[in-house]
Chain A
Amino acid sequence: MQLLEIVTAITERHPGIVRSEFRGQTRLLVPREEALDLLRALKEQFGFDLLVDLTCVDYLNYRDAVDRFGLVYLLANTGLLANTGSSQRLTVRVMLNDSALELPSVTGLWPGADWMEREVYDMFGIVFQGHPDLRRILLPDEFTGFPLRKDYPLQGRGERHNFPVITRGQA
């Protein structure tokens, strides 16, 4: 199935989905409620078996931005499990706002999403419902901010200087 046919089939079934194209990359902007259903359909019916990446963008100061956070699912149809020999890529974007920073987890569909969702939680504070082990992954557990948000300063808020000093006399 060609990518165009897949996208057409999806947009006919879900009228809320906005489709866009840039430099040959097809993106689908999906309402939050339909996200999990659509991702499941993409995996099970259309053969997008590889979750290449899952990330998030904070559109706080972005021009013409309406929503705060945009989750990005980069999918690929490798054609390996179905032996179709095709290679297609599709980007699915889901918008979230401060009022409800929650989204169903996709670890049930792609187990590889486990750490990617933890990283997004760590960096942006977005909660994935149904994730088996949603903890901070890169930063220490006692860290309080979400550093990749745009309102977090590059130099941090003094966390990096808050340690005891060991001198030669001690130890």
Chain B
Amino acid sequence: MATGASRHDLARFGAEVFRFSPRQCDLMIVAGRVVMKMLPVLQRIWQQMHEPKWCISMGACASTGGVFDTYSVVQGIDRFIPVDMYVPGCPPRPEQLIQAILDLQDKIQREGTISGLEFKVPSRQQPKRALLELPVINNPVAVGPR
């Protein structure tokens, strides 16, 4: 929140308009840890956004789970949704987030996207390395008396 407020003022870089509906957005900033109750919601938000769209994973907790290596925290959102830019730090300083947005603007300048078609080449559809290391479990074991 401080990024948008008085001192750091993200508006200087032309990236400030917060929209309350995912259908009007083109950038999703995942700030903070994502837990398993939130992840389906997050995926739904991502699917509701129109192309072209980008995602910033802000902070160690969103990128890797951070210190929260527990039963409920997803260990990195890039296992389940595509991520364009990672911001280190827990939490990152506002300057880091601003830098990430500038870098993302730079990336879009270089790579471009109109319809997301350039992402549909087979080389981009490879699963992430982190996913190859860890098997996706389809049937969690049911435990407990109830």
Query: Per the CB under 8 Å rule, do A and B touch in the complex?
Result: yes
**B binding-site residues for A, Cβ under 8 Å:** 35-37, 39-40, 43, 46-47, 69-75, 79-82, 116, 119-120, 124-125, 127, 131, 134, 136-138, 140-146
B71 contacts A140, CB within 8 Å? Answer: no
Residues in chain A near residue B131, CB distance under 8 A: 165
Partner of B140, one of A144, A146, A147, A166: A144
Inter-chain residue pair count (beta carbon < 8 A):
92
Question: Range of interface residues on chain A?
Answer: 20 to 34
B70 contacts A156, CB within 8 Å? Answer: yes
Q: Contacts A156-B72, A166-B47, A171-B46: A125 and B144 contacting too (C-beta < 8 A)?
A: yes
A162 contacts B140, CB within 8 Å? Answer: yes
In angstroms, how far is the closest chain B Cβ from the Cβ of A151? 9
Interface of B is mostly: loop
A166 contacts B80, CB within 8 Å? Answer: yes
Residues in chain B near residue A155, CB distance under 8 A: 69-71
Q: Contacts A158-B137, A165-B131: A153 and B82 contacting too (C-beta < 8 A)?
A: no
| Interface check A45, CB cutoff 8 A | no
Bound complex: CA of A149 vs CA of B67, how far in Å?
Answer: 21
Partner of B72, one of A101, A139, A171: A139
Partner of B81, one of A154, A156, A166: A166
A146 contacts B72, CB within 8 Å? Answer: no
Residue of B nearest to A146 (CB): B144
